[in-house]
Amino acid sequence: MKHNHLYNYILTIADNSLILGQRMGELCGHGPSLETDIACTNISLDLLGQVRSYYQYAAKIAGDGRTEDDIAMLRTEREYVNVLLVEQPNTDFAYTMARHFLFDAFHFLFLKELEKSKDLTLAAIATKSLKEVTYHQRFSSDWIRRLGDGTEESNKRVQAAIDDLWMYTDEFFNPTEVEITMAEEGIGVDLPQLKNQYYETVTEVLEEATLIVPESKYFHKGGKQGVHTEHMGFLLAELQYMQRTYPGMEW
């Protein structure tokens, strides 16, 4: 039972990075400048690299012959437990950076705590990933400042994105039974304790960017329970196409 909890807990971490990595990968060749295009693609590769470590560990725990590719590519939509925020589409560049920024602020705080895990493998993955996520957070935060304190048009677009995506942020801090159990055992992260620091960090950047912090108290959730938005199915169709069309293929 403990191994089952650990396996499911790993999915709650890895699925976020997998889905966001897929979203960022969609920008390859579509960035507003060559430098930014390459940066977004590299961030996608960073996230997918982290995902490999998590899924390799999950496959080892499962011990049923599945590989990291099977876990990543061959589950149904309801079996993914990522938060709703990361599956939101790349509406425009401001929207993409807003989504990335809101996730990065959480991801950084989460990994700082996961480094303290009693599970040495998870702690090691967190330490390695934190170096990359530190850059991710700086990159997205800088873009929020540039867009918010830029032109009238860029301010309007990024404000609209923040307003639209804000409703997905509280899901980070609503733990599932698995997350609660793992936190109690000293393996996982106590999510509610990150909430105040998260919103303080996000608010500071938004105010520097001359943006208005949304006041909405209504939040969407369900991703962690496998209940996703309409965007998820389309994302998975693209993500899983090669593996499902050519079963067992290897690079």
Taking 90 as the threshold, does the pLDDT of residue 79 lie above it?
A: yes
- Specify if 151 maps to a domain: yes
Lowest mean pLDDT among 25-29, 67-71, 140-144: 25-29
250 belongs to a structural domain? no
Cα dist from 210 to 1, 207, 220, whole Å: 49, 5, 26
Determine, yes or no, domain membership for 7.
yes
Q: How far is CA 64 from its chain centroid?
A: 27
Q: What is the pTM of this model?
A: 0.94
Q: In this structure, which amino acid lies at residue 112?
A: K
Mean pLDDT of 36-49: 87
Domain total of the chain: 1
Q: Stretch 96-114: mean pLDDT, rounded?
A: 98
Residue 86 pLDDT > 90? yes
The answer to whether 206 and 162 have CB atoms below 8 angstroms apart is yes
Give the CATH number, domain containing residue 167: 1.20.1260.10
The pLDDT, as a whole number, for residue 1 is 47
Q: Which two tokens stand for residue 95?
A: 């929207």
- Encode burial over 143-174: b for 16+ CB neighbours within 10 A, e otherwise: bbbebbebeeebbebbbebbbebbbbbbbbbe
For residue 186, the tally of other CB atoms under 10 A from its CB is: 11
Residue 205's domain comprises 1-245
Task: Give the pLDDT band (50/70/90) at residue 4.
Answer: confident
Does 185 map to a domain?
Answer: yes
